[in-house]
Amino acid sequence: MDDDLDRALIATGPRLRAVRKRRETTLADLSAMTGISVSTLSRLESGVRRPTLELLLPLARAHGVTLDELVGAPPTGDPRIHLRPVTRHGMTTVPLTRRAGGIQAYKLVIPAGSLRHEPDLKTHDGYEWIYVLNGRLRLVLGDHDLVLSPGEAAEFDTRVPHWFGAADREPVEFLSLFGKQGERAHLRARPATMSE
């Protein structure tokens, strides 16, 4: 067997254990979610049993991660683009652009149950446009306290004190376009007409 593949399979056990511990899930809970016996899960994590696709697929689903994350696969696709999610303060941010300067695009996910009662308003240079994909987003912007639903958007100068979070205990997914001060997303309300 290829040495790289061998190393990846050997490292999968500790990675499976780390993901489970991070999610604070017991082997019994994971067994109930996946239908895989506790003994098989234990042997996978200790490296006694080699992982197979039939075992890894339900584990990836249960943990909410990709197969690549479970086996530590190298990045694929365009080598210039590595969209690595970053989780900070309970919110996951996925960069969608990688160019220096200009407007940057991000997808943000606030997990279920992360309702915060006291917003911590921040200011910084820039201009932001947000669009809600799923869930309900609470946006506190200066003196305004808004709840945005899927399909709704907002744009604002980030020098105005602002904060966003989940409006309830459901997860929220939204897109953010962020530019330095003076840069704005150009929106068209209707198609441009062509002169004849």
Per-residue pLDDT tens for 121-138? 989 888 899 999 999 999
Contact 5, 71 (CB under 8 A): no
| CA atoms within 13 A of residue 188's CA, in its CB half-sphere | 4
17-76 confidence digits (pLDDT tens): 888 888 888 999 999 988 999 999 999 998 888 888 788 888 888 877 777 777 776 555
Q: What is the pLDDT of residue 133?
A: 93
Q: What is the pLDDT of residue 1?
A: 45
Q: What is the pLDDT of residue 117?
A: 64
Question: Closest Cα to residue 131, out of 175, 178, 187?
Answer: 175
Q: How many C-beta atoms surround the C-beta of residue 37 within 10 A? A: 11
The tokens of 112 are what?
């279920």
CA distance 142 to 92: 24
Q: What is the pTM of this model?
A: 0.53
Q: Among residues of the chain, what percentage have pLDDT more than 90?
A: 29
Strand order in the sheet with 162-166: 144-148, 137-141, 162-166
Parallel, antiparallel, or unpaired: how do β-strands 162-166 and 137-141 relate? antiparallel
Q: What is the pLDDT of residue 41?
A: 92
78-118 confidence digits (pLDDT tens): 555 556 777 777 788 888 876 666 788 888 998 876 656 67
